[in-house]
Amino acid sequence: MASGTWEEFFAAHLPPPDFEDNRSLLKEFCERHDQYGNRIALVTSGGTTVPLEHNTVRFVDNFSAGTRGSASAEYFLEHGYAVIFMHRQKSLEPFTRHFSGQKLLDMLDIQERGPNTTITVKPDSVDVLAPILLRYKAAHSAGAILHVSFTTVSEYFWLLRAACECLTNLGPRAVLYLAAAVSDFYIPKDRVPTHKMQSASGAPVIQLQLVPKMLAPLVNLWVPEAYVVSFKLETDENLLVPKARAALDKYKHKMVVANLLQTRHHRVILVTPDETQEILLTREEVHAGVDIEASIVLELVRLHAEHLAPCGAPPVAP
Ligand code: PMT
């Protein structure tokens, strides 16, 4: 089935209630960093949902824990970029991603002495917590990271377009790193029931429609000078590189990071117009908890600097 246009998609979906607040935050953040000539990476992370009911009890979800985006955001900060971290609510976030589940509580000791109860970090956890806490504090006190969140695919697109509008002044200093897992299918608003679907009415027949690809207006209209990196997620190895290359040919952006669902944490393929480069972690590196995102971002930063060189930008952001 053919998708509608991106303009029709925006016309049919109202902006989310907190949209204007987020737009102001994005504007302030981009203007501030633009003033100093900084580079900004917009990192999208986590999966978007498609609600099956307006008062949503059920929804279709896209798979992503937010591992890729949250880790990458940390490495962009390390390389001197300011970061807009646009993420699915309740998915992994930079810095706190290291302490999911009970990890943080397991690092703490408590001495109950009535009103003088004290909580301390266990001595053997200080070495783990301290470097992460220091990086977290440094990023936040420098105002180097902004978090904005989405849940549904329409919230994602409203935020994405607003972020692009704010980033456009940065020209080639903006990197868009589109790691979020974005819905390809949705239910048009007028076919979404208001209330929870009732099982007594029998099995529902749900017809999904194609979501327009936002990469097209993004690359051509919203941020034509930015360094745009999209991701390609497949489950079939045979489709991976051909589809990544087809996306590059079609949208004419700078890079596709291709990954298979099954191996995404230790293998990716960076596809650019000129080359195809595999990044593969060894078994030992995986065991030692090395993030593949460190290598992805390192290579991207190198290519972005090359791209910026003719514009006279310094090799490393201030
Ligand atoms: O978070 P993790 O668990 O670590 O998982 C990371 C990841 C596997 C989700 C990530 O590495 C990844 O591959 N993200 C992209 C997933 C995706 O949406 O792939 P796609 O092949 O459906 O889309 C390709 C590109 O088109 C994406 O960059 C997307 O931003 C863009 N798109 C998608 C749908 C749409 N309607 N418009 C778009 O522009």
Percent helix / strand / coil, the chain, rounded to 5: 45, 20, 35
What span, in angstroms and rounded, lies between the C-alpha atoms of 106 and 4? 50
Asked if residue 317 belongs to a domain, the reply is no
Nearest atom in ligand 1 to the alpha carbon of residue 47 is 9
Residue 313: the pLDDT is 60
Number of compact structural domains in the chain: 1
Asked if residue 1 belongs to a domain, the reply is no
Asked if residue 270 belongs to a domain, the reply is yes
Asked if residue 318 belongs to a domain, the reply is no
Residue 317: the pLDDT is 44
Residue 115: the pLDDT is 87
Asked if residue 155 belongs to a domain, the reply is yes
Residue 314: the pLDDT is 56
Asked if residue 165 belongs to a domain, the reply is yes
Domain with 159, as residue range(s), is 6-311
Amino acid at 27: K
CATH number of the domain that residue 144 is part of: 3.40.50.10300
**ipTM, 2 decimals?**
0.97
Q: What angle do CA 104, 107, 109 make, to 5 degrees?
A: 120
What span, in angstroms and rounded, lies between the C-alpha atoms of 318 and 100? 32
- Please state the pTM of the whole predicted model: 0.95
Distance 179 CA to ligand 1 centre (A): 6
Q: Which residues pair with 257 in a beta bridge?
A: 231, 270
Asked if residue 316 belongs to a domain, the reply is no
Residue 2: the pLDDT is 60
Asked if residue 108 belongs to a domain, the reply is yes
Q: Which residues line ligand 1 (CB under 6 A)?
A: 64-68, 178-179, 181-182, 184, 211, 213-215, 230-233, 259, 264
Distance 257 CA to ligand 1 centre (A): 10
80: CB partners within 8 A, 6+ apart: 38, 39, 316, 317, 318
Closest to 68 (Cα-Cα) out of 244, 219, 294: 294
As averages over each run of 10 residues, the pLDDT of the chain (318 residues) reads 84 94 98 97 97 90 95 98 98 96 94 92 96 98 98 97 98 98 91 89 90 96 98 96 97 98 96 96 96 98 94 55
Whether 129 contacts 105, CB under 8 Å: no
